[in-house]
Structure 1
Amino acid sequence: MEKSDGHFSRVNAICWSFDNEKLAIATADRYITLFDDNGQQKDRFSTKASDTNKHKIYRIVGLSFSPDSTKLAVAQSDNIVFVYRLGTGWDYKKSICHKLVVSSNVTCMLWPHSRNDELVFGLSNGKLKVGILQMDGVRKNKSATLFETQSYVVTLACGSDGNSFISSHMDRTLHKYKFPTATGAPFKELLATLPYVGTCIVWSHDTLLVGSNLGHVVALNSNDGTQLQIFEFNIESCSRSLYCAASNPQGQCAIFGGFN
């Protein structure tokens, strides 16, 4: 991504707002650039370290818009998630409205579309946390542990119901979590153990597509973890990992990306 001085900075994270009107891009220089739905740059602002007395040695590891598209969560490697209030228009004055401080590096994040006041993030110590932004109409800055594993959280994927997610871990496991509903209690299970580390996930309907550090993609049944199919690609590059993935809005096809 080109900066004002004509040089390019590596893109670390990118996300669309739920209303499809805002695109946020985080770069390695710790700036976030906002675009409209026509690709026109509307704003650019710098992020801040969790400890302002220290040098900026963190990196941005994830971005996620709130379901109402008025807030942007920024997950950082220096043990914090900031939530910025962007408002509904481009002239709205941005401000940090929530700070979620934790004891370990944040590694990944998502904001379930059915939970406007809660977001989910994983930590390097294997914990899955929920950030609680508001409760009973009262503004909060707190997080709670949903469940713990002993392995680094690599990536997250949200279910189409907006009330469940899959976490992938460095020990090659996939865990599934469902939030409580009016008719049921919270539910967590070990869904599957893979032959490799799952580095990116697409969850469409009842199927999971999991990209790996070996360049393979495995299809799993999202209900019971049954393996459906493996796609093996002949990747000659020294870096075979698949780093990111996305599906089309209908969930009928997916694309996976890697380095080089």
Structure 2
Amino acid sequence: MAWSQNNAKYAVCTVDRVVLLYDEHGERRDKFSTKPADMKCGWKSYMVKGMTFSPDSTKIAIRQTDNIIYVYKIGEDCPIPGGMSVSQQKVPRAIHPDGKVQRVLSPVYSGLQSTLLSSDWLKASCSGKGILSGHADGTIVRYLFGDEGSRGSQGKLVNHPCPPYALAWATNSIVAAGCDRRIVAYGKEGHVLQTFDYSRNPQEREFTTAAASPGGQSVVLGSYDRLRVFNWSPRRSIWEEAKPKEIANLYTITALAWKRDGSRLCAGTLCGGVEQFDCCLRRSIYKNKFELTYVGPSQIALQGSGGNEKYFFENENVCMIFSAGELTLVEYGSNDSLGSVHTEFMNPHLISIRINKRCQRGMEDNKKLAYLVDIKTIAIVNEDSTYVRGKHSSFPAT
């Protein structure tokens, strides 16, 4: 199962190797069949072991047991039949947004190449710049991309006591569990932080899958008729277990997927059922216009009553909200908006925001916004609270 990056699509692959596409409300919109790497081997010669959407949510990559990854173009509304083969090599590979294929795991720990082909457990970090690989002998391998590589060691991280069927990479630790009915939280370098032992509980069975919330502050593990939820406590720096969710006749949970904004969790079962759970700490109405859903101690999913707002999160410091020609900036960590301006050019690539990039002497903050007033005029707004809000200068654009 997989949620799209824009939270509008949800994909489920069945044991029949058919991908079902749903909208965010759970209504089925379309479906398409996958295909084997070699048509001579027949349609039942493989299984689907993983799916993920592209950043623009118009393509979906599908990983199969016949050592191939297909990328299907699904567009905005419906899928286009037929896939494009990305790689047919016998070595694990990663797909980059620019279409290039890069070998990621074999140079790190070449001894796992043969084992990795039969491994079902691949997890990405919350930042998307790292991969965890779990193996049948209990080995957990980590690989980091780009600047993330300077934050920890790469290669073999730890030997878990059993195959880590349930594997999740949260913000502060790595959570693994399996058939021994024990949940272990590991630190960044593989040391044990916490252990939750349910091996003496006759009502508990093996853990089959796990998923970390998009913010990395919560981890959910599935077993038989039960979901166990763990939340990270920043004050105590430990994982705290919430009340488990027990559902009779749910049977074995085979897949878990969080919505990208953290507001919903979907669980797939051995009997073909898909359950959708609403995840929130509390809800409130802001100015009779927005419904605020608190999905974590420092995370909100925002839904407007009009439904015409557009949100852009490309900037690491500020969220841009467009509505009816009005641009509103919300700085992360602040309860109030940074400011708002009027512009008809609602393209985030035509807007420049700088938060404390070049602090000047005697100034506590340096926050500036540059945007297009019209097609030939650029306006620069000083959003520093020590200056008059909205004061700006304009000059012709070249």
Q: TM-score range by the shorter chain?
A: 0.7 to 0.9
1:213 pairs with one of 179, 188, 213: 179
Q: Which residue of the partner structure matches residue 34 of structure 2?
A: 47
Does the alignment pair 1:226 with 2:226? no
Q: Which has the higher helix share?
A: 2
* Mapped pair 1:158 → 2:124: yes
Root mean square deviation of aligned Cα: 2.7
- Structure 2 CA distance for partners of 1:205 and 1:95, relative to 1, 3 Å: same
TM norm structure 2: 0.49
Counterpart in 2 of 1:115?
A: none
Equivalent position amino acid for 2:103 in 1: A
Partner of 1:118: none
Tell me the distance in 2 between the aligned counterparts of 1:94 and 1:200: 33
Q: Secondary structure at the match of 1:93?
A: coil
Mapping 1:52-131, distance limit 5 Å:
52-57=39-44, 58-87=46-75, 89-91=76-78, 93-103=80-90, 128-131=92-95
Unpaired runs of 5+ in structure 2? 225-250, 252-398
Q: Tell me if structure 2 keeps the 8 A contact 1:179–1:187.
A: no
Say if 1:46 and 1:92 are closer, same or farther in 2 by CA, change over 3 A: closer
Question: Which SS does the other structure have where 1:242 is aligned?
Answer: coil
Q: Secondary structure at the match of 1:20?
A: coil
Letter in 2 for 1:84: Y
Q: Report what 1:256 is aligned to.
A: 221
Residue by residue over 1:106-134, the C-alpha shift from the partner in whole angstroms, topping out at 9 and shown as x without a partner, is: xxxxxxxxxxxxxxxxxxxxx54324574
Change (3 A) 1:94 1:159: same
- Farther off after superposition, 25-34 or 190-199: 190-199
Output the CA distance in 2 between the equivalents of 1:146 and 1:247: 22
CA–CA distance in 1 between the matches of 2:148 and 2:217?
30
Instruction: Give the 5 Å matches for 1:172-183.
Output: 172-181=138-147
- On the 8 A contact 1:208/1:219 being kept in 2, the answer is yes
Count matched residues: 216
Return the alpha-carbon distance in structure 1 between the equivalents of residues 149 and 41 of structure 2.
47
Residue 171 of structure 1 corresponds to 137
Output the CA distance in 1 between the equivalents of 2:165 and 2:11.
22
Given that 1:202 and 1:254 are in contact with CA atoms closer than 8 Å, whether structure 2 keeps it comes out as yes
Does the residue aligned with 1:68 lie in a helix, a strand or coil?
coil
User: In 1, are the aligned partners of 2:30 and 2:79 still within 8 Å (CA)?
Assistant: no
Match of 1:33 in 2: 20
Amino acid paired to 1:96:
G
Assess, with a 3 A threshold, how the Cα gap between structure 1 residues 224 and 145 changes in structure 2: closer, same or farther.
closer
Tell me the equivalent position of 2:111. Answer: 149
Deviations 1:188-215 (A, max 9, x none): 2321112222112221112111122222
For 1:186 and 1:43, the matched residues in 2 are separated by 42
Compute the displacement of 1:37 (Å): 0.5
1:22 aligns with 2:15: no
Q: CA deviation at 1:95?
A: 4.4
Q: Looking at secondary structure, tell me which structure has more strand per residue.
A: 1
Percent of pairs identical after alignment? 28
Q: In structure 1, what is the Cα distance between the partners aligned to 2:196 and 2:19?
A: 35
Unmatched 5+ residue regions in structure 1? 1-13, 104-126
- Counterpart-to-counterpart distance in 1, 2:103 and 2:20: 30
TM-superposed CA distance for 1:161, in Å, is 2.1
Instruction: Tell me what 2:165 maps to.
Output: 199
Distance 2:152 2:57 in 1: 26
Q: Which has the higher contact order (CA 8 A, sep 6+)?
A: 1
In the alignment, residue 130 of structure 1 is paired with which amino acid? Answer: A
For 1:185 and 1:226, the matched residues in 2 are separated by 16
Q: Residues 48-89 of structure 1, C-alpha deviation per residue, up to 9 Å, x if partnerless?
A: 1111122112111111111221111111112211111112x1
Aligned-residue offset at 1:231: 0.8
Range moving further from structure 2, 142-151 or 62-71: 142-151
- CA offsets 1:156-198 (integer angstroms, 9 cap, x no match): 2211221112211112111111113499699623211122221
Establish whether residue 247 from structure 1 lines up as the match of residue 235 from structure 2.
no
* Higher Rg: 2
